[in-house]
Copies of this chain bind each other. A is one copy, B any other.
Amino acid sequence: MGSSKTVISIDAMGGDLGPAAVVEGMAKSADLNPDIHFIVHGDGAELEPLLAKRGITDRCEIRHTDEVVTMHEKPSHVMRHGKGTSMWSAIDAVRAGDAPVCVSCGNTGALMAVSMIRLRKVPGVNRPAIACLWPSNNPSGFNVMLDVGADIRADQDDLLQYALMGMSYARNGFGLSRPRIGLLNVGTEEHKGRAELKVAHELIEAAAGQNEFEYIGFIEGGDIPSDRVDVIVTDGFTGNVALKTAEGTANLISETLREAFKYSWLSRMAALLAYPSLQRLKKRVDPRQANGGVFLGLNGTVVKSHGAADGTSFAAAIKLASQLAQSGFGEKLAARVASLTEASQIEEPASQNQDASKDTSST
């Protein structure tokens, strides 16, 4: 198979539409990328005919599991009793080094919990984060935002780690050599916002030079889709609310648009004529094209696909996973965080030992 083979570990069972949609997405990806191979986790008897039907049996290794994590299972329960599930098995393939990345449609809380205990955090990372792709005015069509829900808290050091992890993701996922990073706040003036944001502002600014990113400072909610920024850093509570608010707003507008076009025979005719334009709009802001929350800060990369992902959407998540796998993203991120930890270990004695601060301040 040669050295360019990319193996992706697939949890085939967790999605709302069942394994058929997952296998459809795998087949689309296999068509587009001859280097991709899969380790597929789930019910063998159900998966075999699906893979055969799509003609990708020889690109797949099936690992049979009897159980499935459902959408409403509590993360704590899955952590204790999830060993026989397709989700657990898919993550364990990454743990064993059989694949660099895993893709699952399973429930986010359970997937994060199992990823945490099986893959463990990269040394130096305090809180892992979930990064999402946000439709934007940038050439790639997307910005990166993190954290969008791995953890509801984040202090100044976590926010600095998110900045570095987001930078690494933007560089390896989008080929941006010098990503622009913004810190989400309620005002762009420096005197506004929470205390930890002011400290994080200083920390990220100070880290910009050495880590070759550009820090553009505080940004507001309205800047998230703008082309002034590539990576938006925030805590998981705020990020999750912002993400779901944007989805809700887009849904409200699209429903209203549909109603507006139903209003009269003239507007129904207009809708017909406008169809190609509306399809272009839809493609541009379609969440299916931006499918894939990436768990960052673990020893191995996990891509979370939407629970309701169809074949197209799941293929987008696989594409993202294979880009990250091929770029060697996991190792690069770990190295980046390690360099930060070393830097802070050099600084720490000065701040911990107040008496010595005069002597070390000039070093």
Residues in A lying within 8 Å of B, measured CB to CB: 74, 135-137, 149, 152-153, 184, 186, 191-194, 220-226, 234, 236-238, 240-253, 255-257, 260-261, 263, 266-267, 269-271, 273-278, 280-281, 284-285
Contact = CB atoms under 8 A, between A and B. Distances in A.
A98 B256 CA distance: 42
Contact of A238 (B136, B237, B246, B253): B237
A265 to B, nearest CB: 12
Given A241-B242, A267-B274, A273-B266, A250 B248 contact: no
A243 B246 CA distance: 10
Given A267-B276, A271-B277, A221 B194 contact: no
A331 B294 CA distance: 51
Given A225-B252, A237-B238, A248-B224, A273 B277 contact: no
A240 B188 CA distance: 13
A253 B251 contact: no
Nearest to A153: B194
A186 B270 contact: no
Given A221-B247, A222-B251, A271-B274, A281 B257 contact: yes
Contacts of A281: 253, 256-257, 260
